[in-house]
Structure 1
Amino acid sequence: MIADRPSDARDRPPTVIHSAGEALEAARKIAAGFAVNADARDRERRLPAPEIDQLSVSGLLGIAVPARFGGAEVSVVTLTEVFRVLATADASLAQIPHSHFVFLDALRRRGTDDQQAFYFGQALAGRRFANAQSERGGRTAADDATTLRRAPGGGGYVLRGEKFYCTGALFAHWLVVRAVLSDQPPHTPEGAVPKALAYIRRDAPGVSVEDDWDGMGQRTTASGTVRLDDVPVSPDQVVDYSSIFDGPTTYGARAQVLHAALDAGIARGALDAAVGQVARARPWFESGAERAADDPLLVQQAGELEVVVRAAEALLAQAAADVDAAERDPTEASTAQASIATAVAKVASARAAVQVSSDLFELGGTRSAAGSLNLSRHWRDGRTHTLHDPVRWKIQHIGRWLLSGTPPPRHGQL
């Protein structure tokens, strides 16, 4: 199926959010609505077009826009909590705006004044940005074959390639494509592959988005395949990507802490579902309890899971605070600290998401395995999203930093 052109926010302009308090209030309100039909959307793989329009209208897509451009410029702590709240309600919906905020951050770091004014204005107007980064053909996930070449006669570029797992692409107004620059910029280190981000309209000539995501979890993330067939790109749509990592940066940590927020939200949503199932469960006959909630062994397991989830939430909050601190004073030490804290939070949140979404069935008992309840979506979402980037490598970086003081590498996954 080829996706239709994305709709604009319905009938009224987006709310403009001015503070962290307003952002969190909006997130909690919209999350409550998202939770109502989350099960049905997952069961039917019903893509959330109305909900995404609500997200645009809510004003949440503009909360990271710098204040000088009219946005709330909320802290990473606030942005992280917004994602955690949304993911507790519906992890698929919560993942859709992830790339939106990551690429607004790239603009904040490397965009020109004119680019920032235009694209930040688009975000405040409820327009949605989505990623077109990953490719299937490279030796590693970091390899790109998509190219941005100078157009014949100069004056612009031509974009060609194919991208997969493009979360949110089906509902985007703008696609942000990572591509190899065919003309190497001055002062590029020998052997380095210069890359850029092309901010292109979803309906630009040569762009097609196919709805072919078939993951067992995160089923409604609108993650299609993006095909780019000689798409014309003007110079003012191109932002340098490689130079983001030339010096101390929180770019990767900021992106990763939002992924950790998604996992922490999945864990909390799964535990909330487990509590609901315990209220309906029968006590085991050997316990002597009148209710399942009074079974001492079940009480013990529930308490252990609450500790796991709260630990992940606390580490998430600490990591977000460390990213905020590093952004105020971006030194080698502060950005390394932020990356390590984020890695710790990502590991803890990923473990919590998978463990709690599995153990909820032990709390709920045999009845909780009924297909009609669709409680497996919590585990499927957790198991799928935690595969985004391997936590085993994060543990390596944490250990090296702890034992030898080795700073973590600079890239978008850390």
Structure 2
Amino acid sequence: MTSTTTQDTSVHPSSDPSIYQEYESKWSSLPSDSTGWIQRAKDVAAVLAPDAAAREKANKTPRAEVTLLKHSGLLKIFGPKEHGGGEQPWSVAYQAIREVAKGDGSIGMLLGYHLLWAFSVSILGTPTQIAKWTRLITSQNLFVGGAVNPRDSDLVITSDPNDPTKIVFSGSKHFTTGAAVSDLIVLEGALTSDGPNKGQHIFAYVPTVQPGITFSYNWDAIGLRLTESGSAQISNVVVDWEDALGWDASLKSPVPEILTVPYATLLLPTIQLVFINFYLGIAQAALDTAAGYTRKATRPWPYLSGGERETTSPAEKATDEFYILQTYGTHHAHLLAATALVDRANEAVSELFGAYSHQRENRGGVTAQQRGEVSELIAAAKIVATDVGLKVTSDVFEVTGSRATASKVGLDRFWRDLRTHTLHDPVAYKRREVGRWVLLGEIPTPTWYT
């Protein structure tokens, strides 16, 4: 396994990884504490922000940007220190995602998805699998993508007719965020072989570069254009039973104390909080970018209303306009409130994971009630982050003026990025979930989106 992926650039041009070569040596040492890791994420954002609008317009496959993440060490934020990782909690990882998203929403999203998929073995895997994959991903600085889209038909998993120690994945996925620029892909499918476990779901890591995996490079949404979230075809990809996460290879059955406990369902609220943190980063970046533009380029309105009681003169500067000051003040306050709620959710997830080791015998300690309460907190955070984010990214034009709609300014990308991903799953269902929790004390039944 190596950390180098290849691509036929005639299919879709990719950005040049060499443009960030200097950061390989500049960031050769990993941060030593949580403050340092968050600062590293801010440093990455500072590199990405100046040309984010131009890169988004060019819409090249983000090879260079993933290389920058590798140089930064952020891909290894969870990894064991003995293998060169940071051993940081989710609360720090979430903040890192948010900070990178301030520089470029697409790359913040790629980092978030990588961290979720890299961490998945710690939720779903056996102790042996956890040791194997955390070592490999960390020591080789691998970028992990996923071919896990619940609304598609599952990939079909069959027994290998030539080797009973192996299974075979086949099918297609409409969305595969980051997979085309990854070193490893998480595949997920349903077992179709006859037997008591027919229909059971299996997750597994596989190398990206192999004949059985092809990408369409057909991602062409209005936002998050550099996430390479297009479709993929999976054809006869062979996986060892030993790499079926949470399964007993000898019995060819799921390990009950791993996959049938509430702990195994934490993957879903964890990724929902990934979403929320890059939403928040994008919204904050929109307000900050607009404020910079207002200070530099927005002109005050030269006319008054003309009413008989008008006693004031037109503002001399845009920064004196009452409605501009009011809008910035309101949105800043709302973002502070949203941040406080999201940070509370970040800490809750970290505490839940931190309270239980990833060893098999301790996972049963997480109760359905604990899982449900954290899920409801995350749902509330998603409601607020979505509402505030869409409002902020739309209203920035009210306080920057008509010239700020110029393509070169790029203010529109913030709304486009948020609008694209906030449709991932309807926030209306989150409102209902929280409503049932408030009125009836009901925790949600775990699903692919809850």
* TM superposition score normalised by structure 2: 0.83
User: Residue 335 of structure 1 corresponds to which residue in structure 2?
Assistant: 371
Q: CA deviation at 1:218?
A: 0.4
- Where does residue 282 of structure 1 map in the other structure? 299
**Residue 224 of structure 1: SS of its match in structure 2?**
coil
Rounded Cα–Cα distance in structure 1 between residues aligned with 2:28 and 2:158 = 36
Which digits, 9 at most, give the CA deviation of each residue in 1:282-332, with x for residues without a partner?
111226211111111211111111122112211110111111232226333
Does 2:58 match 1:44?
A: yes
Amino acid at match of 2:386: A
1-side partners of 2:386 and 2:195: how far apart?
A: 38
For residues 74-95 of structure 1, give each alpha carbon's deviation from its aligned partner in whole angstroms, at most 9, with x where no partner exists. Answer: 1221111101101111001111
Q: Which amino acid aligns with 1:257?
A: L
Residue 152 of structure 1 corresponds to 161
Aligned twin of 1:170 = 180
Answering whether residue 275 of structure 2 is matched by residue 259 of structure 1, we say: yes
Structure-2 separation of matches of 1:254 and 1:31: 23
Structure 1 counterpart of 2:34 = 20
Q: 1:158 to 1:224 in 2, by over 3 A?
A: same
Q: Report the residue type matching 2:46 in the other structure.
A: A
1:115 & 1:16 partners in 2: Cα distance? 25
CA distance in 2, matches of 1:335, 1:252: 10
Partners of 1:68 and 1:340 in 2: CA distance = 35
Aligned AA (2:387): R
Equivalent residue number for residue 248 of structure 1? 262
* Alignment check: 8 A CA contact 1:210 1:224 kept: yes
Residue 16 of structure 1 and its aligned partner are, at CA, apart by: 4.3
Aligned residues: 404
Report which stretch shifted further, 125-134 or 15-24.
15-24
Residues 97 and 130 in structure 1, CA contact (< 8 A), matched pair in contact too: no
- Residue 221 in 1 paired to residue 227 in 2? yes
SS in 2 for 1:178: strand
Letter in 2 for 1:272: D
| 8 A contact 1:146–1:162 mirrored in 2 | yes
Alignment partners' CA distance in 2, 1:379 and 1:326: 33
- Percent identity, please: 28
Q: Does the Cα contact within 8 Å between 1:145 and 1:180 map onto a contact in 2?
A: yes
Give 3-state SS (helix, strand or coil) of 1:43's partner: helix
The answer to whether the 8 A contact 1:3-1:209 is kept is no
Judged with a 3 Å threshold, the aligned counterparts in structure 2 of structure 1 residues 112 and 245 are, in CA distance, closer, same or farther, namely: closer
In structure 2, distance between residues paired with 1:48 and 1:85: 18
Structure of larger gyration radius: 2
Structural mapping, 1:292-307, within 5 Å: 292-307=318-333
One-letter amino acid of the structure 2 residue matched with residue 131 of structure 1: G
**Which residue in 2 is equivalent to 1:138?**
none
Q: Kindly tell me: are residues 14 and 52 of structure 1, through their superposed partners in 2, closer, same or farther at Cα, counting changes over 3 Å?
A: farther
Match in the other structure for 2:115: 101
Shift of 1:63: 1.0
Query: Residue 181 of structure 1 is aligned with which of 162, 167, 191?
Result: 191
Q: Give 2:416's aligned residue.
A: 380
CA contact (8 A) 1:7 1:171 kept: no
Aligned to 1:410, the other structure's residue is in SS state coil
Using a 3 Å threshold, how does the CA distance of structure 1 residues 75 and 42 change in structure 2: closer, same or farther? same
Q: CA contact under 8 A between 2:17 and 2:65: conserved in structure 1? A: no
The AA in structure 1 aligned to 2:103 is A
Residue deviations 1:147-199 (CA, integer Å, cap 9, x gap): 1110003221111001122111121001111111124775x6xxx94111121
- Closer, same or farther: CA 69–126 of 1 in aligned 2, 3 Å: closer
Residue aligning to 2:362: none
- Answer with 197-206 or 377-386: which moved more: 197-206
Distance 2:236 2:32 in 1: 40
Rounded to whole Å, the distance in 2 between the matches of 1:406 and 1:42 is 42
CA distance in 1, matches of 2:127, 2:154: 30
Aligned to 1:127: 142
Indicate the residue corresponding to 1:32 in structure 2: 46
Q: TM-score, normalised by structure 1?
A: 0.90
Gaps of at least 5 residues in structure 1 are 135-140
Letter in 2 for 1:378: F
Structure 2 CA distance for aligned equivalents of residues 156 and 380 of structure 1: 43
Rounded to whole Å, the distance in 1 between the matches of 2:194 and 2:79 is 31
Deviations 1:10-65 (A, max 9, x none): 67796545432231121111111011211111111123322211111211111112
User: What stretches of structure 2 of length at least 5 have no aligned partner?
Assistant: 1-9, 248-253, 305-312, 357-365
Conserved? CA contact 1:322–1:337, under 8 Å: no
Cα distance between partner residues in 1 of 2:394 and 2:13: 37
Alignment check: 8 A CA contact 1:358 1:379 kept: yes
Contact 1:97–1:168 (CA under 8 A) maintained in structure 2: no
> Equivalent residue of 2:316, what SS?
coil
